[in-house]
Structure 1
């Protein structure tokens, strides 16, 4: 997956909208035989009942890894929180956050979801707010 992201960045560089990178990655994943589904609506539940709200990550790869792509000047905690929420809500264990707008190189972060990570980020957030 990361290799496909590097290939797209090598070919297109930075400066395009996120949708361009999304489409390029769909092609690159197909060419490199990475099993992926783009923009798959993921169902959410509350007390055993399905919610009408859905999370729609950019890609779900290998049915386990959520890939969220960005085309922004820099990655911020809001972007990380979005990916962590996708992981938390869906129970997927691993996420990849990739920023194609960074220069001079691709910016990416791997996030493994555990309840310990979520709680540490939550308490860090509370400490900053107080």
Structure 2
């Protein structure tokens, strides 16, 4: 993992904790997404919201998925507002990383009193 990717992930995590401390738990995922976009702007992080990534099979596009954020064109951030993160949530993020050829993803759950963050690395 290169230093730039680690630095970006640390900045993202700081933004997540700012939102978590400011809002607490109990809101819809979209509320946290809006607040996180404000924090990314404050940190001057470039990001795409609701970014579409194609799913390919045998050289053909067979579908697409939409990520919550792609930050600095390198880190996928997937948001949840659930009581417990499930293996399906981790599988979802891993698929996003694989299909989009990203190395690093953060699975963020705002459904607890303090945000939970699961850092996932995909070996390209």
| TM-score, with length taken from structure 1 | 0.82
Structure 2 Cα separation of the partners of residues 65 and 25 of structure 1: 14
The answer for the alignment partner of 2:50 in structure 1 is 39
Query: Is 2:117 the counterpart of 1:108?
Result: yes
| TM-score, with length taken from structure 2 | 0.86
Higher relative contact order (CA 8 A, sep 6+): 2
Query: Is 2:90 the counterpart of 1:80?
Result: yes
Determine helix, strand or coil for the equivalent of 1:20: helix
The answer for the alignment partner of 1:12 in structure 2 is 23
Structure 1 Cα separation of the partners of residues 112 and 19 of structure 2: 13
Structure 1 Cα separation of the partners of residues 35 and 92 of structure 2: 22
Consecutive unaligned residues of structure 2, counting only runs of 5 or more, are: 1-11
Q: CA deviation at 1:69?
A: 0.6
Deviations 1:29-57 (A, max 9, x none): 11111111110111222222233x21111
